[in-house]
Structure 1
């Protein structure tokens, strides 16, 4: 009898052990929100959200995902933030419309035990639980350095004319970091800065309107333009085209959008930054799942007192577009070499 009881005890302990192990190995679950800032850039719908969703499907198939885009409306993003908390979000990935206004959102979430991952744009005033992005200050410096080198290679003297600087939104802390990098690059390049503009909401039409005024003001003294992203670059190029300036002076960009890559192929835009958003989106997903599992994600560095992971992107010009974009599968020749861009593709050795 005693032997039977001992056997039963051991069997019960074994069953409890297996149950405990099963519980330990159980896949994480929970509600995670992914809140993006605007639709002026196509990247959020085409790259960031699909990339985040795909990684979450691998890591947490039982997780519930909530996606919202604020369309550059601060009040709308606040409503969306409140809504996802009410829906039970335990982790919120937030790309803020307004980095200053987002501080109160972070504090509110943290007071309720909700983790906030700042995404792409930091929240300087209040540390989020984590920050994932490309190195924005490095991006600004890289596009400015690249453009300065192009001007020097073309023999443009530093004493002749100067450059325009088209920054991003004044409410976006990431735009401020890009701006800081651009300032450093222009200063190191030795070219005069004729004027600069902080583009509200990153809106290309507003960038175009401002650049049009500067073309009237400075004319051919404008030897180049450091634009903070591809949208403002597109607006800049449109302004020069409308003014009859041919060729357009070198214009920088950032994001490697399809339209920007085609402008580089056509010779209208000088550079952009290839930063496949899926990389950052996947990293945000990994951090989110870590929080759901109760783990503190490791941080490579700190930015604004926030544990951070920053990725280094690549500068793309006509010289390396094939290697950085086509050969790496970021875009295909069929996507880029349409219509009037076919001739430029042929010159760059990009075949359909």
Structure 2
């Protein structure tokens, strides 16, 4: 992983070597603002891992948690609340990267550091941690091209991209197109508000009807949540074609084993959450970030250059479930191999 988290093993914030910026020390007060709950990762992994790492580095830290439930206006109000509470640092995963700009500016004007988490918000953001999102899309596209194989000339694919308000979605889309264009013919393409699985299901069903089921040779889905809705539409149309995903959700791992989803993108959450938490604690203690935390830079939609940490994603297939999500402790074999998937698990060597 290209993350350089040499400080990740630190047992307490006092061991950090971040340089003081001269800001007052005081209590560590951090606001954690996540965007939604429909994607299972946020409540299942991101929140508990971030909170645990902050507490490991600063046991007395105050963490104020908010979830915007896909509502950009709600998230703006939550930023105001966090500022009123006196939070010194915000870890912000924006619902809408553009509309949150005024809130980022408000935090900046108040001397509060903003860490863009997973999605790069607009405005004067102080640091950014995520994955190499264009690479994610490229890997998805390459996997789809390989899975469709010689059938590419006999039909078309459906592309179901993520939310138009999420800057990551545009990067996934660009990466996917870089791998797909010229190799597969796109019959229908959609940008799906809020990454909604129900919308994705309806989009896939409409596309299958418009193109004709025999003419569909594959589906690009930008994430696993939408892939669940798409898989339902494919089953209803008696279609078995390659389907991509992202996030390595448990149900996606099971679909990969069952053969109803081709792949997912495994983004190890702990390196991302550890980096964000470490950044937040160092900022809250009035320190500059250690250089290893932000080895690169990114430019956000408002033109700000942001010190960044972009982690390399991993392609998840049936062949490496054991050596990735199981070996890393994301899921146990028992969680994956429920009775409905027992035979598939045995065939894959999981039990």
Distance 2:175 2:153 in 1: 22
**Superposition RMSD in Å:** 1.6
Distance 2:271 2:342 in 1: 29
Paired residue for 2:109? 111
Distance 1:191 1:144 in 2: 10
Give the one of 117, 120, 136 matched to 2:118. 120
SS of 1:77 mapped into structure 2: helix
Paired residue for 1:9? none
The answer to whether the 8 Å contact 1:56/1:285 transfers is yes
SS of 2:189 mapped into structure 1: strand
Distance 2:325 2:110 in 1: 43
* Consecutive unaligned residues in structure 2, runs of 5 or more: 1-21, 300-304
The answer to whether the 8 Å contact 1:166/1:225 transfers is yes
The answer to whether the 8 Å contact 2:108/2:124 transfers is no
Paired residue for 1:64? 62
Distance 1:315 1:160 in 2: 26
Paired residue for 2:84? 86
Give the one of 89, 99, 102 matched to 1:101. 99
The answer to whether the 8 Å contact 1:28/1:62 transfers is no
Q: Is residue 164 from structure 1 mapped to residue 155 from structure 2 by the alignment?
A: no
Distance 2:332 2:287 in 1: 39
The answer to whether the 8 Å contact 1:90/1:292 transfers is yes
* Consecutive unaligned residues in structure 1, runs of 5 or more: 1-23
Q: Give CA deviations for 1:73-132 in whole Å, capped at 9, x if unaligned.
A: 111111111101100100000000001111111101000000000000102x42410000
- Mapping of residues 286-297 of structure 1, within 5 Å: 286-297=278-289
Distance 1:75 1:293 in 2: 30
Q: TM-score, normalised by structure 2?
A: 0.88
Paired residue for 1:6? none
- Mapping of residues 177-326 of structure 1, within 5 Å: 177-187=171-181, 190-218=183-211, 219-245=213-239, 248-297=240-289, 298=291, 299-304=294-299, 305-326=305-326
Distance 1:149 1:127 in 2: 41
Deviation, structure 1 residue 162: 1.8
Deviation, structure 1 residue 159: 2.0
- Mapping of residues 121-160 of structure 1, within 5 Å: 121-123=119-121, 125-152=122-149, 155-156=150-151, 158-160=152-154
Paired residue for 1:20? none
Distance 1:197 1:162 in 2: 14
SS of 1:89 mapped into structure 2: coil
* Divergent runs of 4+, >4 A: none
Paired residue for 1:176? 170
Q: Give CA deviations for 1:205-255 in whole Å, capped at 9, x if unaligned.
A: 00000110011011221111111000111111111112222xx21100000
Distance 1:90 1:184 in 2: 40
The answer to whether the 8 Å contact 1:28/1:63 transfers is no
Larger Rg: 1
Deviation, structure 1 residue 28: 6.9
